[in-house]
A and B are shown apart, each in its own frame.
Chain A
Amino acid sequence: MEKAKIGAYQFFVLLLLFELGSAVLVPIAIGANRDAWIAILISTVGGVLLFFVYYRLYKFYPQLTPTEYMEKLLGKFFGKILAFAYILFFVYISARVLRDFGEMLLSFAYVDTPLFIVNTLFILVIIYALQKGIEVIARTGELFFNLLYLLAVIGFILIISSGLIDLNQLKPYLEQGWTTVFNVVVTETLYVPFGEAFVLSVILPYIKDTKKIKYAGIAGIVLSGINLSLVMAINISVLGIDLATRSQFPLLTTVQSIQIAEFLERLDVFFMVSMVIGIFFKASIYFYAAVSGTTILFKFKEPSKLVYPIGLVILFMSITIANSYSEHLKEGLDLTTRFLHPFFLVLAPVFLLAIAYVKNRKRKKK
């Protein structure tokens, strides 16, 4: 663990940026069709509940990172195995996020540029940030949080003023009934992005004002849920459900449809800025979690030196993980959201929490 101190507000900002990260760009909960926004709102509630699980775990061991308390809870052998599995998971997801980003960028702006170059540049920036430590990432987050919301407000005003929103596109509500919505919630949106908040428990021990963590966390998850739901509702009401389902990046399509005074058109830059910022924080926090886990598990003294090899692994993994974008997406749906996410983000933490309860009850009795 490095010597760092983070404020509750910084945690809130990081959590928010992390949750919005890639989720705001891609069509999430689109399985629920017009009711995607309802599904997101419901999973926000689930996200808050999940956050309480992570928060309780943190409460049991406020000084320790997940890697450390896993050893305490499961014993040295199993704890280390689980911690190592988590490191692999973090690296893998970080690579996936990077791949997502690269494919996105290539598909709408840099058709002829090799994926490798785009990803290399991005990982270099992330490595630079991680070199500077978590405090700097948190402060950068604060800066970009303002920028992101400024862009969002401007974009929102532009969309409204260009008269694109047709709320009738959202009707009829609950066309396919509650079951479809809940199905989407349980299989998809509960984990990504809300369950991913578990990754941030890596930085929980750094936070100074421990009393505010709870509120910062809830605020972050609720606000990100509302934002995501709003974005999805706007996407559908602007594009219509057909286009929104088919579009790879509905937000981009929405932004591109802005046309005002024959001058403000094709505001792809807005999308690109929010994409780079969002993905940057998502990938770097996963990356940071991997680095922090490795440092503690293998008792490294200088975490900043670990950044290079792990960064290299993530970079190459992001290229070799799949041969094409469709393969990458299929892998994501079949492997990641079906097995990895439920296990690492929900089952394992809940299991750990159960053990922690039992262990601490024993201790109290003694």
Chain B
Amino acid sequence: MPSFFKRRQITKQKMKQKKEEQTKQKIGDYGTTPLPSSLKEKIDFIKSETGNSFDVIIRKADLDEKLGIETAVVYIDGISNTQIINDFLIHSIIKNRELHRKQPNKDIFEIVREEVVALGDVKVLPNWKEVFQMLMAGETVVLIDGETRALGASTRGGEQRSIEEPGSQVTVRGPRDGFTESIGTNIALIRRRIQNPNLWVEVMKVGRVTKTDVSIMYINGIAKEEIVAEVRERLNRIEIDSILESGYIEELIEDESYTTFPTLYYTERPDMVAGNLLEGRVAILVNGTPFVLIAPTVFIQFFQSVEDYYGRAFLATSLRFLRVLIFFISIIAPASYIAGTTFHQEMIPTQLLIAIAAQRETVPFPAFIEALIMEVSFEILREAGVRMPRAVGSAISIVGALVIGQAAVQAGIVSPAMVIIVAITAIANFATPSFAVAISARIIRFLFMIAAATFGFYGIILGLVVLAIHLTSLRSFGVPYVTPLAPMIPKDLGDTVFRLPLWSLKTRPALISSEQSQTRVGGDQHPKPDSSKKMVPKKQKGEQE
């Protein structure tokens, strides 16, 4: 009966598939399976679960040779601090042999926990889930023969990148340290700046497979509780196998996916995060990346730099105006050129018009195609410059400058005016302080070019209206994106495109920080040099005269 066998085979295969599926689901998820008491079984289980991986180190040590009580120290090489393990665990176990004989009333497990393991953070691990969690995070697990519990000691360590100056968001004045890939270091960098017990950190593991440490940081009392709760809830809702960068988190918790504008701010600078925490925002740190997310984010943040607060107010204000201008240039400069030359020649001053027309005489394309060619080739150059190895960089710049700049003009394919426009746009785009917004401006620019090519300035203006509607419709964790401009919050306007002197910024952002604590500057902090004038005695003044 061949058919019978066939069916059995199929059901067997199905069973196998099911089993595989079950194990797939179970990856890294041991539930609350308790530990066996025999040391050998425990070691075997660890070995089989980790697939005899080479970097899982298991060091056995006798606690009592006569009674046959053995212990094993398990850790993972590379992510734990081997020196600490040697000095305070293995060495300590060997030195304290037969200690329990002096205290016959006490449990061996307790003795090991209290007296043998000479480390600060020691945890009791009741099941395999916690054992593996500790192990994989770089902690060390101490297994004892005859015990169904294990001990976990904090020995995280291993090679890390040292604290360096952040590559993005460079400032002239301001601290030079940047975040690293280690979440512990990053938290410490922030805590060093805000030495206050109200700086709270919550840790959670996100990612079914990667089990990445993600922590929320906020200042209790300044951050709005609803926003903190919302952040926590959105993070808890995440169910994904891996979190490799904060971008994963960003995309999973943001309010609106279908937009080019970032609704979460990211930064590499601890002082930036500290400043935002003090405004009542919540920071989301992800292990394995130096980029920290900040929520809620408003649009105007992307035009601000930390240095604005370190430098003089007037300079900061004018720089912010410049950045807004830059943003608009990088969006509509090529579009305006297209609109001006194709539709509204009468609006260009006569002499300029003649100059442009003379340049464009040999150009075989309409202005839109010309602009498109230039913009696209610039984008190609730029992408090449970012991805290529550094050594090839100079070759690219030569090719770019010669071919696209000079040769294209000399060949009469594009007009010099167009090259100027593209160059200004490109520089404006680079000058935008936030990379995230610069990217979105890059995309929008092309839409505006199409609008300008079809409807001239009417198209551009309609585009701006749509852009404004889109921006005002966005929200970041419930806070309207264009706050405090729309909805207008007069007392927050001091720190938008303006940056008034610090003593006049009396309150924290109204919609973002908690209602209970909004005062930032107490009393009247306006410097009063009148009192210091008296320090110079009048007599001396007279004498000098």
The reply to whether A265 and B349 form a contact with Cβ atoms under 8 Å apart is yes
B469 partner, pick from A109, A129, A268, beta carbons under 8 A: A129
Contact of B480 among A113, A118, A139 (CB under 8 A): A139
With contact pairs A268-B344, A276-B462 given, residues A136 and B456 touching in the complex (Cβ less than 8 Å): no
* A128-B469, A142-B487 known; A269+B462 contact, CB < 8 A: no
Taken together as a complex, chains A and B put the C-alpha atoms of A138 and B482 apart, in Å, by: 12
Beta-carbon contacts under 8 Å, A69-125 to B? 105, 109-110, 113, 118, 121-122, 125
B-side contacts of A125, CB under 8 Å: 462, 465-466, 469
A7 touches B487 (CB 8 A): yes
Name the distance in Å between B354's Cβ and chain A's nearest Cβ: 13
A266 interface residue (CB < 8 Å to B): yes
Closest to A280 in B: B465
Q: Is the CB of A142 within 8 A of B349?
A: no
B488 and A9 form a contact (CB under 8 A): yes
CB contact under 8 A between A136 and B469, given known A109-B344, A118-B458, A265-B349: yes
Closest residue on chain B to residue A268 by CB atoms: B347
Chain A proximity of B285: nearest CB distance (Å):
32
Q: Is residue B457 within 8 Å, beta carbon to beta carbon, of the partner chain? A: yes
Docked complex Cα distance between A113 and B485 (Å): 36
Q: Does A318 contact B (CB under 8 A)?
A: no
A9 to B490, CA, bound (A): 11
Q: B-facing mask of A220-254, CB < 8 A → 1, else 0?
A: 00000000000000000000000000000000000
Q: For the complex, is A154 an interface residue (Cβ under 8 Å from B)? A: no
The residues of A that contact B468 with a CB separation of less than 8 Å are: 140, 143-144
CB neighbours (8 Å) of B378 from chain A are none
Chain A nearest CB, measured from B472 CB (Å)? 4
For A264, give the chain B residue with the smallest CB separation.
B349
Interchain nearest-CB distance for B73 vs A (Å):
60
A143 touching B457 by the CB < 8 A rule?
A: no
Interface size class of B (residues with CB under 8 A): 20 to 34
Given contacts A136-B472, A268-B344, contact A105 B349 (CB under 8 A): no
B462 pairs with A266, CB closer than 8 A = no
How far does the Cβ of B330 sit from chain A's closest Cβ, in whole Å?
Answer: 19
**For residue A132, which residue of chain B has the nearest CB?**
B473
In the complex, A262 Cα to B485 Cα: how many Å?
A: 36
Residue B455, interface by CB 8 Å = yes
The answer to whether A121 and B487 touch (CB under 8 A), given A109-B344, A266-B346, is: no
* Contacting pair B461 A272 (CB below 8 A): yes
Distance, CA A273 to CA B488, complexed state (A): 22
Report Cα–Cα, A110/B455, bound state, in Å: 9
- Within 8 Å CB of B485, what residues of A? 142-143, 146
Interface status of A263 (Cβ within 8 A of chain B): yes
Closest B residue, CB atoms, query A136: B473
State the CA gap A71–B536 with chains docked (Å). Answer: 80
Structural contact, B455 and A140, CB atoms closer than 8 A: no
Question: A268 — which chain B residues lie within 8 A by C-beta?
Answer: 344, 346-347
Chain A residues lying within 8 Å of B386, measured Cβ to Cβ, are none
Asked whether A315 is an interface residue with its Cβ less than 8 Å from the other chain, the reply is no
Given A109-B456, A262-B349, the answer on whether A132 and B469 have CB atoms closer than 8 Å is: yes
Listed residue (B344, B456, B461, B466) with the most chain A CB atoms within 10 angstroms of its CB: B461
Q: How big is chain A's contact interface, by range?
A: 35 or more
* Residue in B346, B349, B487 whose beta carbon sits within 8 Å of that of A139 in the complex: B487
Within 8 A of B (CB), among A1-40: 7, 9-10
Partner of B486, one of A118, A121, A142, A280: A142
* Alpha-carbon distance between A363 and B188 when the two chains are bound, in angstroms: 69
> Is the CB of A277 closer than 8 A to any CB of chain B?
yes
Q: In chain B between 434 and 466, which residues have their CB closer than 8 angstroms to a CB of chain A?
A: 455-459, 461-462, 465-466
Contact of A122 among B343, B462, B469, B480 (CB under 8 A): B462
Q: Within residues 279 to 306 of chain A, which ones have a CB less than 8 A from any CB in chain B?
A: 280
Q: Are B482 and A143 in contact (CB under 8 A)?
A: yes
Which residues from chain B contact A277 at a C-beta distance below 8 Å? 465
Cβ-closest chain A residue relative to B455: A121
- Give the chain B neighbours of A272 by CB distance below 8 A: 457-458, 461
Q: Which of A126-142 contact B (CB under 8 A)?
A: 128-129, 132-133, 136-142
Residues of chain B contacted by A263 (CB below 8 angstroms): 349
- Cα distance, A276 to B487, chains bound together (Å): 21
In the assembled complex, which residues on chain B have CB atoms less than 8 Å from the CB atom of A262?
349
CA distance A265 to B353 in the complex (A): 13
Contacts of B482 in A (CB 8 A): 139, 143
- Of B455, B458, B469, B488, most A-chain CB atoms within 10 Å: B469
Contacts of A144 in B (CB 8 A): 465, 468
A142 pairs with B488, CB closer than 8 A: yes
Is there contact, CB below 8 Å, between B458 and A105?
A: yes
Distance in angstroms between the alpha carbons of A139 and B465 in the assembled complex: 12
Q: How far is the CB of A264 from chain B (nearest CB, A)?
A: 8
CA distance A10 to B487 in the complex (A): 8
Chain A residues with CB under 8 A of B344: 109, 268-269
Contact partners of B465 in chain A: CB under 8 A: 125, 129, 140, 144, 276-277, 280
Asked if B461 and A110 sit within 8 Å, CB to CB, the answer is no
> Which residues of B are found within 8 Å of A142, using beta-carbon distances?
485-488
CB proximity of A250 to chain B, nearest CB, Å:
19
Q: Which residues of B contact A132 (CB under 8 A)?
A: 469, 472-473
Tell me, rounded to whole Å, the shortest Cβ–Cβ distance linking A21 to chain B: 14
Q: Contact check, A140 vs B469: say whether CB atoms are below 8 A apart.
A: yes
Q: In the complex, A118 Cα to B343 Cα: how many Å? A: 15
Contact yes or no, A276 B461, CB < 8 A:
yes
Find chain A residues with CB under 8 A from B487 CB: 7, 9-10, 138-139, 142
Do residues B458 and A273 form an inter-chain contact, with CB atoms below 8 A? Answer: no
Give chain B residues whose Cβ lies under 8 Å from the Cβ of A10: 487-488
Complex contacts, A141 vs chain B, CB 8 Å:
486
Q: Name the residue of chain A whose CB is nearest to the CB of B472.
A: A139
Q: How close is B345's CB to chain A, nearest CB, in angstroms?
A: 10
Point out the residues of chain B lying under 8 angstroms from A143, CB to CB: 468, 471-472, 482, 485-486
Bound CA span A276–B457, Å: 11
Contact B456 A110 (CB under 8 A): yes
Centre residue among A9, A118, A276 by max chain B CB count within 10 A = A276
Contacts of A139 in B (CB 8 A): 472, 480, 482, 486-487
A146–B462 Cα gap in the complex (Å)?
17
Interface residues in B367-401 by Cβ distance below 8 A to A read none
Per the 8 Å Cβ criterion, residues 141-195 of A in contact with B are 141-144, 146
- CB nearest neighbor in A for B463: A125
Contacts of B346 in A (CB 8 A): 266, 268
When each residue 89-125 of chain B gets 1 if its CB lies under 8 Å from chain A and 0 otherwise, what string results?
0000000000000000000000000000000000000
**What is the chain A residue whose CB lies nearest that of B459?**
A121
Q: Within 8 Å CB of A121, what residues of B?
A: 455, 458-459, 462
Q: What is the minimal beta-carbon distance from B61 to any residue of chain A, in angstroms?
A: 67
CB of B296 to closest CB in A, whole Å: 16
Complex CA gap A136/B485 in Å reads 13
In the bound complex, CA of A132 to CA of B472 (Å): 9
A142 to B480, CA, bound (A): 13
Give A125 to B470 CA distance when docked, in angstroms: 11
A146 to B487, CA, bound (A): 12
Bound-state Cα–Cα, A136 to B480, Å: 10
Chain B residues lying within 8 Å of A146, measured Cβ to Cβ, are 485
Offer 28 A-B interface pairs, CB within 8 angstroms, sorted by A.
A9-B488, A109-B456, A109-B458, A110-B455, A110-B458, A121-B455, A121-B459, A121-B462, A125-B465, A129-B465, A129-B469, A132-B469, A132-B472, A136-B469, A136-B472, A139-B472, A139-B486, A140-B465, A140-B472, A143-B472, A262-B349, A266-B346, A268-B347, A269-B347, A272-B458, A276-B465, A277-B465, A280-B465
Q: Which are the 7 A-B pairs with shortest beta-carbon distances?
A: A142-B486, A139-B472, A139-B486, A132-B473, A136-B473, A276-B461, A143-B486
6 additional A-B residue pairs with CB within 8 Å, beyond A109-B456, A133-B473, A142-B487: A109-B458, A121-B455, A121-B458, A140-B468, A141-B486, A269-B457
